[in-house]
Amino acid sequence: MSIVAEFASALHTEFPSTTVPTVPALYRGKSEKLRDVQVAIFDVYGTLINYWDNSFSDQETKKNELLIALRKTADRFNFTPTLDKIDPSKRAEDTLHDFYNGLIVMKHEQSIGEGKSFPEVKIEEIWNIILSILIRNGYDLESNTIGSRTEFSRIIAYYYNFYSLKRGFFDGVVPTLKALKAQNIKLGILSNAQFYTPIDLSLFIRDQDEELVDYMELFEPDLIFFSYENGVAKPNKMLYEKLFDALYEVNVLPSETVFIGNDLAADIQATQEIGMKTALFTGNRGSTFMHDLDGKVFPDIVFTSYEELASKITFYSDPNA
């Protein structure tokens, strides 16, 4: 186990998963059941992981909550004295917020200038740049670091993410994934994500099933696509094209594949356009994203809880099976 994974596991053990109660959204699908499904591809955030905090619905409240997480991060890794020195007129968390978000915007603008639509950063690189700024202003890296410089950047990123989002699977995720696999349906992932996403997937799987250790025990390695590994995020077409090619390699047609997500634009419309079946998860109203497509784009099926999903998808094409 890597130093980062050990740090994450210890933090998760000390502070177990926390999610907020969910209120489902109402939406209409085209049918009640999907047949002849050989592959099911899942989005992660808002679909498998219930990350949503009700404060996110208000931008000012959301910012304040994220500032609290940044303050925890600054204090935990002893950034606060250096941040106070950099700008005595601001709170440490405000200075850190400006660095963090400013660097992400800069990286996005650079990628857009290179012709990438919907660019994705590697978040540990953002924290590594912040570390460089802090070191130039007197931060003692040697006294505070955990592991190598790269590992330390990842640990900081994990810690901030840990406190900035709610954490945990929706109820019934793992039993449903196992039920789909038992039908001989291959499982995959295509999601906006960071390096810590696979770590959390494994931790949350263990929360729901003590016999499982790693998320790769449920998902097919060749059918996993994370945005941070590709430099672009959904709905950039490159990710869907990679999925299309991977399906071809396992002799599965898009029409034999269902994409399961919580976003009408990035998950439903985008995959319908390449011929996939679609399932919209509406289990949490706050993280069910309609954009301007409400009433214009309809998934094949809709489900509000994972207890429903396994009965709505079948490997078999025979209606009597």
Q: Calculate the average pLDDT of the chain.
A: 95
Q: How far apart are CA 18 and CA 54, in angstroms?
A: 13
Residues 222, 131 share a domain: no
**Digit-coded pLDDT (tens) for 87-124:** 999 999 999 999 999 999 999 999 999 999 999 999 99
Q: How confident is the model at residue 157 (pLDDT cuts 50, 70, 90)?
A: very high
Q: How confident is the model at residue 18 (pLDDT cuts 50, 70, 90)?
A: confident
321 within a domain of the structure (yes/no)? no
Structural domain of residue 86, as residue ranges?
56-164
319 within a domain of the structure (yes/no)? no
The count of domains in the chain is: 2
**Digit-coded pLDDT (tens) for 46-79:** 999 999 988 888 999 999 999 999 999 999 999 9
94 within a domain of the structure (yes/no)? yes
320 within a domain of the structure (yes/no)? no
Among the three residues 115, 137, 164, which one is the final residue of a domain in this structure? 164
For the chain, percent helix, then strand, then coil, each to nearest 5? Answer: 50, 10, 35
Instruction: Look up the pTM and report it.
Output: 0.95
Buried/exposed 113-124: b ≥16 CB within 10 Å, e otherwise: eeebebbbbbbb
Residues 77, 24 share a domain: no
318 within a domain of the structure (yes/no)? no
Give DSSP secondary structure letters for 128-173: HHHHHHHHHTT--HHHH--SSHHHHHHHHHHHHHHHHS-B-BPTTH
Say what the pLDDT of residue 320 is: 64
Can you tell me the mean pLDDT for 14-39? 93
Residues 134, 25 share a domain: no
Residues 305, 216 share a domain: yes
Say what the pLDDT of residue 17 is: 85
Instruction: With beta carbons less than 8 A apart as the criterion, state whether 66 and 300 touch.
Output: no
Residues 296, 178 share a domain: yes
Residues 297, 182 share a domain: yes
- Does residue 321 surpass a pLDDT of 80? no
Residues 153, 112 share a domain: yes
Residues 220, 109 share a domain: no
28 within a domain of the structure (yes/no)? yes
Q: Can you state the angle between helices 149-164 and 123-136, rounded to 10 degrees?
A: 110
Say what the pLDDT of residue 1 is: 67
Residues 73, 202 share a domain: no
Contacts of 107 (CB under 8 A, 6+ apart): 119, 121, 125, 126
Among the three residues 108, 139, 164, which one is the final residue of a domain in this structure? 164
152 within a domain of the structure (yes/no)? yes
Residues 184, 43 share a domain: yes
Residues 103, 74 share a domain: yes
Can you tell me the mean pLDDT for 206-212? 96
- Does residue 183 surpass a pLDDT of 70? yes
317 within a domain of the structure (yes/no)? no
Task: Identify the CATH number of the domain in which residue 267 sits.
Answer: 3.40.50.1000
Q: 104, exposed or middle or buried, with CB in 10 Å at 0-12, 13-18, 19+?
A: middle
**Digit-coded pLDDT (tens) for 230-254:** 999 999 999 999 999 999 999 999 9
**Digit-coded pLDDT (tens) for 262-296:** 999 999 999 999 999 999 999 999 999 999 999 99
**Digit-coded pLDDT (tens) for 159-179:** 999 999 999 999 999 999 999
Among the three residues 130, 164, 198, which one is the final residue of a domain in this structure? 164
Say what the pLDDT of residue 19 is: 84
Residues 183, 289 share a domain: yes
